[in-house]
Amino acid sequence: MELRHLRYFIAVAEELHFGKAAERLNISQPPLSQQIKQLEKQINTTLFYRTNRNVELTEAGKAFYKHAVKILNQINIAQEDARSVAEGENGILKVGFSGTITLNVLPEIIKTSQKYHPGIALQLLSLTTSQQIAALEQRQIDIGFLVPPVESSLISTKKLQDEEYIICLPENHRLANEDKINVADLKNDSFISTSRDAGIGYFDTIDNIFKDAGFTPRISQIANDQLTMVSFVASGLGVVIIPKAAESLTIDGVIYKELHKPYTKVNSIAWNKENTRPVVQKFLNLVSDRVIPSL
């Protein structure tokens, strides 16, 4: 049995007239009649009652019609799904993210993706930059949102934005009334920091800020996400230099201040150069064309 048998059968079943069905199919009537007889022989069942005046479905024909329609519909859906996946319109995209990207960039990217490519299902994974690099290399994720540098020949990156650093202080800190803070004025404070293993770019930028200020900080706690860092500040465990987007974390007991000398970090999108899935390229084009210009 071939698909044409189902198409021919459905046409006759709906028209109940071989001549009209043949016209609908754009074929002559004799080949159509021959194909229907061939179909009936294959399934060893009479599908139509035929007289000189009428064509009617048998009970077996009525049952077969329901299944034939479902089969052709499923085939059409399968063809459309395959085409959409091949063109990058459908598919699952595994996306890694870290840091304050979740507070500004990522929500905009998710909304834009849902608007323009609703067939792309995003699976979001919270990973440090280092974890994302490893996952990209091993093709465990398709896209990463991270802080460069990325020291891997397999991975390409594209800059999303520059993000300014600020300082988070306890609300009763001695410098709470200052408009801007000199980092050097905090040399006697305890600091919340992150581990270098979590992300080289983020850690090294903070390290350079301390070098510029002329002191080595006293680290009281280590944390690898901004919410935990700010919570530690609220608990009185120290102060923390964090990206500006973190000031949207409204936690009682803390205040955010700008630094006298501006420092920034780069947020980037990353992908494995050997990952040729169409959905990956479609997503990269979306970010480049519709998200980055608005940041």
Domain residue ranges in the chain = 3-86, 91-159+267-294, 163-265
pLDDT at 107: 93
Task: Give the count of beta carbons closer than 10 Å to the beta carbon of residue 257.
Answer: 19
Could you tell me the two tokens for 23? 């016209």
The whole-angstrom separation of Cα 257 and Cα 179 is: 7
Let me know: does 192 contact 232? Beta carbons within 8 Å: yes
Domains 3-86 and 163-265 share a fold: no
Question: From 3.40.640.10, 3.40.190.10, 3.40.50.300, 3.30.920.30, which CATH number describes the 91-159+267-294 domain?
Answer: 3.40.190.10
Rg (CA), the chain: 32
What's the CATH fold of domain 3-86? Arc Repressor Mutant, subunit A (1.10.10)
Architecture of the domain defined by 163-265: 3-Layer(aba) Sandwich (3.40)
- One-character DSSP codes across 35-73: HHHHHHHHHTS--EEE-SS-EEE-HHHHHHHHHHHHHHH
3-state secondary structure of 113: helix
Give, in degrees to the nearest 5, the angle at Cα 102 between 88 and 192.
Answer: 145
Low-confidence ranges of the chain (pLDDT < 50): none
pLDDT at 236: 97
Task: Give the count of beta carbons closer than 10 Å to the beta carbon of residue 128.
Answer: 21
pLDDT at 88: 66
pLDDT at 84: 60
Let me know: does 200 contact 207? Beta carbons within 8 Å: no
pLDDT at 85: 67
The four Cα atoms 42, 46, 52, 54 give a dihedral, to 10 degrees, of -120
Let me know: does 155 contact 137? Beta carbons within 8 Å: yes
pLDDT at 269: 97
